[in-house]
């Protein structure tokens, strides 16, 4: 023991004060979670997204139990039924049940959004981290690449790629992510540059940790809050981009339902069957709004100073 009596003696005042700490031991994550929970509007938005996600996952159950229709079942005797009765939200020009198609469309739309976020976060984080951590020529090279990607007008790139690759949910996600990773890379690089300067990185090097361990074990958790915020804000943006591409006929192709292409489809019948426009439009609006509100709530929770 290192002079136990001496050390104990020295520690007494400080120890007593710290021992009597009134605040329970809480981690950064716990504290953030507490702040998020206190934000009612943010939590409502989060729960709403969660409900939509559940509906999307359980689409087959819902269409079997709730609506009793399949998304692609055509019934030409029931075209343009208004909401109510057998078809809760009406039918479209081929007699397909709108609610069923919206439920299945949630699968596609939210699935594309999720996959896009996952891909762009993974690629963007890897690139941003390497650029920020190693610096030098690698940083220059990677960041000029990002600049290039971000300098190309995204909509033209999407159009071009959608023509080259037949848009399926997966390919559409990859197309959107091919631009999305750039922003993430920039964000992560900036964060890494600031975290890298802190002494604990040098301290961790001084105990013999290798670069990969430093990046994954020590840097990544410090960048994670930024990533989570980027992800939750990204979902809304991606849904809008996807809807726009669908609207231009470059997104998900009918008969596969997505919220975007349902909206496109409804365009022609705007004057006599307004519900075909209203319901997908409302869903997109609500989901994007919820995603943005929830993203902001998470940001505030992680960094209360920003509020």
Partner 1 sequence: MTQPLLEVQDLHTVFSTKEGWVKAVDGVSFELHPGETLGIVGESGCGKSVTALSIMRLQRPGLIKSGRVMFKGEDLTKATEAEMREVRGREIAMIFQDPMTSLNPVFRTGWQVAEPLRLHHGWNAKKSLTSAINMLGKVGIPSAVDRAEDYPHQFSGGMRQRVMIAMGLTTTPEVLIADEPTTALDVTIQAQILDLLRHVNQEFGTATILITHNLGVVAGMCKRIIVMYAGRIVEAGPTTDVFAHPKHPYTWALLRSIPRLDAERHEPLKPIDGLPPNLVDLPSGCAFHPRCAFKIEKCSRDVPALQRVGDTQLSACWVTQAGTELKGA
Q: Please give the residue ranges that form the binding site for partner 1 (CB under 8 A).
A: 1-3, 6-8, 10-11, 14-15, 18-19, 21, 25, 27-28, 198-200, 202-210, 213, 218, 221-222
Closer CB to partner 1, 148 or 194, in the complex: 194
Judge whether 189 and 143 are in contact, CB under 8 Å.
yes
DSSP H helices in the chain: 4-19, 28-38, 40-57, 59-62, 98-134, 136-151, 154-164, 169-196, 199-206, 211-213, 220-247, 259-266, 275-302
* DSSP code for 73: -
Least Cβ distance, residue 301 to partner 1 (angstroms): 15
CA 230 – CA 121 distance, rounded (Å): 8
- Report the nearest approach of partner 1 to the CB of residue 157 (Å): 37
Q: Which residues contact 142 (CB under 8 A, 6 or more apart)?
A: 127, 130, 131, 185
**Nearer to partner 1 among residue 209 and residue 240 (C-beta):** 209
Distance (Å, whole) CA 112 – CA 246 = 12
CB nearer to partner 1: give 163 or 216. 216
Number of Cβ atoms within 10 Å of the Cβ of 172: 31
CB of 10 to partner 1, least distance (A): 5
- Alpha-carbon gap, residue 209 to 226, rounded angstroms: 24
Nearer Cβ to partner 1, position 20 or 76? 20
Taking the complex as a whole, how short is the minimal distance between the CB of residue 235 and partner 1, in angstroms?
A: 25
Indicate the residue among 70 and 218 with the shorter CB distance to partner 1: 218
Smallest distance from partner 1 to CB 136, Å: 9
């Amino acid at each position: 023991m290192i002079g136990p009596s001496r050390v104990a003696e020295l520690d007494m005042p400080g120890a007593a004060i710290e021992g009597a700490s009134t605040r329970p031991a809480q981690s950064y994550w716990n504290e953030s979670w507490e702040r998020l929970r206190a934000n009612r509007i943010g939590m409502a938005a989060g729960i709403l997204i969660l409900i939509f996600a559940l509906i999307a996952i359980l689409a087959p159950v819902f269409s079997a139990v709730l609506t009793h229709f399949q998304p692609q079942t055509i019934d030409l005797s029931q075209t343009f039924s208004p909401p109510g009765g057998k078809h809760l939200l009406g039918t479209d020009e081929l007699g397909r049940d709108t609610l069923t198609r919206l439920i299945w469309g949630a699968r596609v739309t939210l699935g594309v959004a999720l996959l896009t976020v996952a891909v762009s976060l993974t690629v963007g984080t890897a690139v941003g981290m390497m650029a920020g951590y190693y610096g030098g020529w690698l940083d220059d090279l990677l960041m000029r690449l990002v600049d290039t990607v971000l300098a190309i007008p995204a909509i033209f790139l999407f159009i071009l790629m959608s023509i080259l690759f037949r848009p399926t949910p997966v390919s559409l996600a990859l197309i959107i992510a091919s631009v999305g990773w750039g922003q993430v890379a920039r964000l992560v690089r900036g964060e890494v540059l600031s975290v890298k300067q802190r002494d604990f990185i040098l301290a961790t090097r001084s105990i013999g940790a290798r670069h990969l361990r430093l990046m994954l074990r020590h840097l990544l958790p410090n960048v994670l809050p930024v990533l989570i915020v980027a992800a939750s804000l990204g979902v809304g943006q991606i849904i809008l981009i996807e809807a726009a591409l669908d609207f231009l006929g470059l997104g998900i192709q009918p008969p596969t339902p997505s919220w975007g292409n349902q909206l496109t489809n409804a365009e022609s019948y705007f004057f006599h069957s307004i519900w075909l426009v209203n319901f997908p439009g409302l869903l997109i609006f609500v989901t994007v709004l919820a995603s943005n509100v929830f993203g902001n709530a998470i940001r505030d929770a992680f960094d209360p100073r920003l509020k």
